[in-house]
Structure 1
Amino acid sequence: MRALFLHPNFPAQYRHIITALGADPKNQIVFGTKNERPEWKIPGVRKALFKPSRDPSTQTHQYVRALESAVLHGQGVFRMAEQLKAKGFVPDIICGHSGWGPTLFTKEAFPDTPLLCYFEWFYHSRGSDADFDPADPLTVDDMARIRIKNTPILVDLYSCDRGISPTYWQRSQFPSQLQSKISVLHDGVDTSYFKPDPGAKLVLPNCDLSGVEELVTYVARGMEPYRGFPEFIEAVAYIQERRPNCHVVVVGSERVCYGKSLPDGVSYKEHMLKKIPLDLSRIHFVGPLPYGQYLKVIQASDVHIYLTRPFVLSWSMIESMSTGCLIVGSDTSPVKEVITDGENGLLVDFFSPKQIADRVSEVLDHRDRMAEIRIKARQTVLERYDLAKLLPQQLQLIQEVANRS
């Protein structure tokens, strides 16, 4: 099989798939990407770089700047595709992430090649992430911009031969008339890697917490409202007040990945630490971590807090469950697809830091009673999200689309 994968970042959601395909010498696998990441090399996978010719113009209407960016990405991929064709590479299938634009013009570049799009999110101004926080109301400009932001995704929905979405909640956000094109198939978690380590103690470079009695963890790409960072920090204040021996570890970057930034370049970490007095000797901001160190954090965790708006579900929540973490998660739709309160995790009101702290204390005060919930958390992942089960299904779907089955 000759396959072309498209994503601005390498290897993104496709890491396990391209590793499996690249291991077969009969396959020719090309990954078109904007960010080369030379430290990432996968045997049997060749990178092809694309680059937008320019950034979106500052003069472009604010509603369509994201669309202009997508078109520029699509144009860059088209030019890259022309170079691949000149070297004799015509794929049997194209797999690409929809939204940023790389997949927009693949049917012009390779009109006879089927397209399998990864559909992660469809934007709404009402009823999901954008209007979730009543303290942050949308303007008319916000609503118009959000509607237009779906344009490249709608083009892909029309153009693609098949689509894939990782959760039922995420698929439910797409237009009902087009959901039949989208299969639900999660990326999968390597449960042989993300596994429990009973009695694990946390030791990181420059952070030895092997002697602490109680360890609460929080993981997110960015410290931002979309992942409940302000509510988390307020909950930490309650936790520290009640539990003098409790330490908290925060994994993630001091940036905003989703949603709005604060004015004047102030980070939400700076903002919240000025607003909420904490014992800084018992909260440890360790930054983004390589997988091996991140694994040690969640294996050593006594309670793992995961909060999210009704938005894309983070891989970290399911990875944490796979290690047997006791999740205190937000009572929001993406989390409730996976966690049933009191069965394989505990659910809390996203906007109630006090309730978050109450449930953390509940876990720490009743460790024996919570042991069964930890077991069921991992069992949920083994049954529904295990890479060993899902990867063969993903490869089969790719083969079916390539064969136009």
Structure 2
Amino acid sequence: MKILFLHPNFPAQFRHLATVLAKNPSHEVVFGTMRPEGALPGVKKAYYQPTRQAGTDTHRYVRPLENAILQGQAVYRMAQELKADGFYPHVVYAHSGWGPGLFVKDIFPKARYVGYFEWFYHAHGSDADFDPADPLAADDEARIRVKNAPILLDLAACDAGITPTHWQHQQFPPELQSKLTVIHDGVDTEYFQPQPGAKLVLPTLGLDLSHVDEVITYVARGMEPYRGFPQFMETVMQLQQRRPNCHVVIVGEDRVAYGKSLPNGRTYKQKALEELDLDLSRIHFTGLLPYAQYRQVLQASSVHVYLTRPFVLSWSLLEAMATGCAVVASSTAPVEEVITDGTHGLLADFFSPEDIAAQVETILDCPDQAASMRAQARETVLARFDLAQCLTAQLAHLSA
């Protein structure tokens, strides 16, 4: 079988599936992407690049759609070259939203088109209107509605679709949900597993916390309100005042991956460091880490804090649970799908640093309760998100 993956990043959500397919010598796997970095064994990369970005004179509601169309055109040109070289896929698997799959059925009409659908946008009832301090205007409501245009085009064109969680599935229009199957990307639970007594030592960063008994960890792609970074930093300030021996390790980049940026190029990290009374000698910003070092952070964690608006569930939460972290998380819908308060972790009010700090201290002060939650967290990931079973489901869906 010939399989074409399409995603502007590489390997993104398709890492495990592309890898296992490429191990079969009867398969030919090509990955169309905009990113030249990285490689997977047996996977051939093909590159595409839009000729331009959406014009500044384009109506701002429509710019995401114009960018998706430009990306779809770039994929079409790349696909023409593949076709000329004799590659005609049996299956095309594309991430919806950015536009790489928009014209799959035009260039490869006989191929089975499977879409990966991560999110459907709503002005009300999920992420966009979650923060009462950031109300929506009519202009925002209209813009958010139009943002679904490339996703709806993919839903109409694809033969089948996958979405990773039931919460994300529920965001799609009810009349279209039957086209989508809930199958998670999967967590490598053999790699992400507990290491009792682990201490955090990262020589390349000059970080040695081997002498520290209370290590609070936080992981996100960016430092932004969508993942509760401002609330987390206020939580840290409170914890530092009450627990003089605790240290905090923050993994991620000083940028905004989702949501609004601050004006004048200021970052949320800069804002927190300027406005909060923090002991910076006990806060360690690592930036993005290689997988092995990231796993060390999770294995050495005393308490792992995960906060999110009602939005896409992060891989990092499930990886932390698989690693046996004692988790304090926001009591928001995507989290509540995987964590029952008091069983798999403790839940807290997203907007209350006081509540988050209190739950962190509960774990630090109650090691027996924490041990039970650590074990239950890993068991949940093993039962519902283990990579082997998720891959089995993905492969069955792909060839259906």
2:141 corresponds to: 143
The residue correspondences of 1:131-170 to structure 2 (distance < 5 A) are: 131-170=129-168
- Which whole-Å CA distance do the structure 1 matches of 2:252 and 2:265 have between them? 18
| Distance in 1 separating the partners of 2:368 and 2:106 | 60
Give me the TM-score of the superposition, normalised by structure 1. Answer: 0.98
SS in 2 for 1:63: coil
Specify the code of the residue in structure 1 equivalent to 2:388. Answer: A
Is the counterpart of residue 309 in structure 1 residue 312 in structure 2? Answer: no
Measure, in 1, the Cα distance between the counterparts of 2:138 and 2:278.
Answer: 38
- The one-letter code of the counterpart of 1:50 is Y
Partner of 2:288: 288
Secondary structure of the structure 2 residue equivalent to 1:142: helix
Aligned position for 2:17? 17
Residue 368 of structure 1 deviates from its aligned partner by: 1.8
| 1:337 equivalent in structure 2 | 337
Report how far residue 259 of structure 1 moved. 0.2
Q: Report the equivalent of 2:191.
A: 193
Which residue of the partner structure matches residue 403 of structure 1? Answer: none
TM-superposed CA distance for 1:349, in Å, is 0.3
Alpha-carbon distance in 1 for matches of 2:392, 2:192: 19
1:55 is displaced (CA, Å) by 1.1
In structure 1, what is the Cα distance between the partners aligned to 2:75 and 2:161?
19
Q: Partners of 2:318 and 2:377 in 1: how far apart?
A: 9
Moved more, 217-226 or 368-377: 368-377
Q: What is the root-mean-square deviation in Å for CA atoms of aligned residues?
A: 0.7
SS of aligned partner of 1:62: coil
Q: 3-state DSSP class of the match of 2:298?
A: helix
Alpha-carbon offset, residue 43 of structure 1? 1.9
C-alpha displacement of 1:172: 0.3
Alpha-carbon distance in structure 2 between the residues aligned to 1:351 and 1:102: 37
1:181 matched to 2:179? The reply is: yes
Q: Which amino acid aligns with 2:179?
A: K
CA distance in 1, matches of 2:270, 2:176: 43
Q: Given residue 197 of structure 1, which amino acid in structure 2 is its aligned partner?
A: Q
Q: Look up the equivalent residue of 2:80 and give its one-letter code.
A: E
Distance 1:388 1:114 in 2: 24
1:223 is aligned to 2:241? no
| Residue 61, structure 1, aligned to residue 59, structure 2 | yes
Hey, what does 1:208 align to over in structure 2? 208
Map of 2:113 onto structure 1: 115
1:29-68 alignment runs, 5 A limit? 29-37=29-37, 40-68=38-66
Once the 2 structures are TM-superposed, how far is the Cα of residue 213 of structure 1 from its aligned partner? 1.7
Q: Is 1:361–2:361 an aligned residue pair?
A: yes
- The runs of at least 4 aligned residues of structure 1 exceeding 2 Å deviation read none
Uncovered stretches (5+) of structure 2, i.e. residues with no partner: none
State how far apart, in whole Å, the 1-side matches of 2:373 and 2:16 are.
29
Q: In the alignment, is residue 374 of structure 1 matched against residue 378 of structure 2?
A: no
Per the alignment, residue 93 of structure 1 pairs with 91
- 1:209 and 1:357 mapped to 2: Cα distance? 21
Aligned length: 398
Map of 2:324 onto structure 1:
324
Report the equivalent of 1:3: 3
Deviations 1:256-313 (A, max 9, x none): 0000000000000001111111000111111110100000000000000000000000
Residue 64 of structure 1: how far off its partner (Å): 0.6
Q: Secondary structure at the match of 1:133?
A: coil
Structure 1, residues 178-205: CA drift from partner, whole Å, max 9, x if none? 0000000001100000000000000012
Question: For residue 106 of structure 1, what is the aligned residue in structure 2?
Answer: 104
Give the superposition deviation at 1:25: 1.4
Partners of 1:259 and 1:186 in 2: how far apart? 24
TM-score normalised per structure 2? 0.99
Letter paired with 1:155: L
State the AA in 2 paired with 1:49.
Y
In the aligned structure 1, how far is the partner of 2:124 from the partner of 2:109?
36
- Whole-angstrom CA distance in 2 between matches of 1:261 and 1:370: 36
Q: Report the Cα distance in structure 2 between the residues aligned to 1:271 and 1:359, rounded to whole angstroms.
A: 25
- CA offset digits 1:153-177 (Å, max 9, x no partner): 0000100000000000001000000
2: CA distance between counterparts of 1:155 and 1:28?
28
**2: CA distance, partners of 1:295 / 1:370:** 19
The alpha carbon displacement at 1:369 in A equals 2.3
Distance in 2 (alpha carbons) for counterparts of 1:144 and 1:75: 26
Question: Using the alignment, how far apart are the partners of 1:363 and 1:351 within structure 2?
Answer: 20
* 1:207-286 equivalence runs, <5 A: 207-286=207-286
Q: Distance in 2 between matches of 1:333 and 1:327?
A: 16
* 1:277 maps to amino acid: D
For residue 279 of structure 1, what is the amino acid of its counterpart? D
Does residue 130 (structure 1) correspond to residue 122 (structure 2)? The answer is no
User: 1: CA distance between counterparts of 2:266 and 2:355?
Assistant: 28
Equivalent-residue separation in structure 2 for 1:254 and 1:219 (angstroms): 12
Match of 1:388 in 2: 388
What amino acid is aligned across from residue 375 of structure 2 in structure 1?
Answer: I
1:111 to partner: Cα distance: 0.9
- Runs of 5+ unmatched residues, structure 1: 401-405
